[in-house]
Structure 1
């Protein structure tokens, strides 16, 4: 099941990049998705995938709320923090985690460290003490 989710993720990224649903592009996208290297040694569970997909659904209204907060109550302080990657993450799940963090207006992932950390830039209303 997880292999199908990886395939769907690869195809979704392909269609987002190309924005073309012609028959030739679909064939190319499926070919590329199948030719990319397979699953890593650590396989993600279906539960992890469903949790990340739910977090993305929840992040959509959160992104709108944060956008309105930034418009009506300016955020003047910036902070860079390190956040640890959740254990047993496949590259697909790490990509979705980075997407989830970057999707909201107040945060963006600056760098992914191979040691298992995300470098996250935050925009805050006031300084943390």
Structure 2
């Protein structure tokens, strides 16, 4: 089941990149998704995928709220933090984690460290003094 989720993720990325749902593009997308090299074999739980997909759904309204906050009250303070990658993350789940962090306007992942850390840039409102 989880292997199908990887295939769906690859196809979703393909369709987001091409924005074309013609028959030829669907055939090309499925071919590319199947031909891409496989991942190293690590156990993935379906609940991990569902949890991340839930986070993606929650990130959409959060992105709108953060965008309005930045428009109404500009954020001038920046910081770079290191966030730990959750345990047992496969490349597909790491990609979705980075997507969720970067999707919101106040945060962006600058770098993924192989040791298990995300380098995250955040903007924050200025502290009141």
Quickly name the TM-score band, shorter chain normalised: over 0.9
TM-score, normalised to structure 1, is 0.95
Please show how residues 1-129 of structure 1 align to structure 2 within 5 Å: 1-127=1-127
Runs of 5+ consecutive residues of structure 1 not aligned to the other structure: none
Alpha-carbon displacement from aligned partner over 1:63-108 (angstroms, at most 9, x marks no partner): 1111111111111100001101001001000000000000000000
TM-score, normalised to structure 2, is 0.95
Structure 1 segments of 4 or more deviating over 6 A?
Answer: none
Runs of 5+ consecutive residues of structure 2 not aligned to the other structure: none
In the TM superposition, residue 40 of structure 1 has moved relative to its aligned partner by: 1.8
SS at match of 2:87: coil
SS at match of 1:20: coil
* Contact persistence 1:49–1:93 (CA under 8 A): yes
In the TM superposition, residue 29 of structure 1 has moved relative to its aligned partner by: 0.7
Q: What is the aligned residue count?
A: 127
